[in-house]
Amino acid sequence: IFFAAYAGFGYFNIMLRNDFKSGKYWANVALEMLKQYTISTAARVKWIIHAQIMIWFIPLEDTRRNLLEIAKTSMKLGDFLTEIYAIRLSSRCAFFGGENLSIFSQLNIRNLKNTVKYNTTQGTETAVLDQIMADELRGENSNPFKVFKGLINNEDDLFKRASLTNNTSSMMNVQYRRFFSSFWKGDYDAAESSSKVLLSLRMTNLLLIYFTFYRGLIAFRRYREDHSEDKLRNGFDVIIKIESWLQHSPSLFENKLLLLNAEEQASLPNIDKAKSLYLSSIKSAKDCGRVHEQGLACELMGQFLLTVANDRPQAMIHMKNAHTCYLQWGAFGKAAELAEEHGLDTSSVSPTGKSSKHARDVDIFY
């Protein structure tokens, strides 16, 4: 069927030729053709287009909505695998896009139930690991491993089982979870260790975007700790990569590039320029509605002011702003850790993250 060939050609142009313009063109050709089809093959091709191509060009919230529509169609057609794939990526778009973590949990738990229902072990493992990541940020423990009914009781069990059976996909998913969770905990040693394993692996474009972004931030932080020129070069390489992506979706990459540039200047160090770039990144993230990345920029600026600029009063202001952002994201565990680490007075702070203005927008159609 021609629409599948056009979609494949679009993917080929982006991933192998780095030709984003042609990739987007052929993806749009395929999407136009797909309007007249309702078969399961069409739904699956739409999933590929939105997961691997259009994700570079449109806001993650729009991608999430498109994927939910694909999941609805797939459910009606009895194509449960595409339904599972679409909901999984939709939930991850909610997570990485900074929507309230309750939205991510709604979608992911629904996906977890589906993977158990249809006995897709790989999908179940992925949903469980994603839920652990969200639980840690929210300061909760929903014990997602209970779905394995005692066969797998924790992540170490899962990794050992995967190692014994040489299941590289499962081992890779564990490393993804460890990388992203370690990053948000500020455990850059552990995150860097996982990143070395993941660098040699092919990953979905959504994970690639955020893996690259976080790896760049880690590189600059590690450079300030040990002054390794390799770390500094790694950070520079990530900046070059994000600059090349910026032209395709400024709304997705602008605040990320500004934050990387701020970390670069903090590492040189160029204090005044770094301050300006941190503030620009905070504003950019706020303007795009990415409260988690607004919080991240506030936290990193606070750390910079503490360790490089030696301005504790201003640092605490930004740490408190980060705390507020994390509450709004629904990351109550992350907010509590930040408050404890820096002795923040949160007595006057209301838990504004307990609800989200986006929550009503989620329709998981069940």
Question: What tens digit of pLDDT does each residue of 241-297 get?
Answer: 999 999 999 999 999 999 999 999 999 999 999 999 999 999 999 999 999 999 999
Res 355: pLDDT = 36
> Confidence class of residue 351 from pLDDT cuts 50, 70 and 90?
low
Residue 354 pLDDT more than 50?
A: no
Amino acid at 342: H
Among residues 169, 216, 218, which one has the least CA distance to residue 190?
218
Cβ-contact 79, 71 below 8 angstroms:
no
What's the pLDDT band for 201 if we cut at 50, 70, 90? confident
Q: Say how many C-beta atoms besides its own lie within 10 A of residue 227's C-beta.
A: 10
pLDDT of 38 reads: 79
C-beta separation of 31 from 43 below 8 A = no
Q: What percent of the chain has pLDDT over 90?
A: 86
Round to whole Å and give the CA distance between 246 and 57. Answer: 10
Sequence-ordered list of residues with C-beta below 8 angstroms from that of 66, at least 6 positions apart, any chain: 46, 50, 54
pTM given for the model: 0.92
Please report the pLDDT score of residue 1 as a whole number: 67
Q: Return the higher-pLDDT residue of 33 and 40.
A: 33
| pLDDT for res 55 | 95
E strand or H helix at 130, and its extent? Answer: helix 121-138
Confidence at residue 27, expressed as pLDDT on a 0 to 100 scale: 96
Cβ neighbours of residue 16 closer than 8 Å, sequence gap 6 or more: none
The string of DSSP codes covering 37-91 is: --SHHHHHHHHHHHHHTGGGTS-HHHHHHHHHHHHHHHHHHT-HHHHHHHHHHHH
Q: In this structure, are residues 54 and 27 in contact, taking their beta carbons and an 8 Å threshold? A: yes
> Given this model, what pLDDT does residue 200 score?
83
Task: Give the residue among 55, 135, 136, 44 at the shortest CA–CA distance from 97.
Answer: 55
* d(C-alpha 231, C-alpha 215), whole Å: 10
pLDDT at 345: 87
Contact predicate 362/102, CB 8 Å: no
With a cut of 60, say whether residue 360 has pLDDT above it.
no
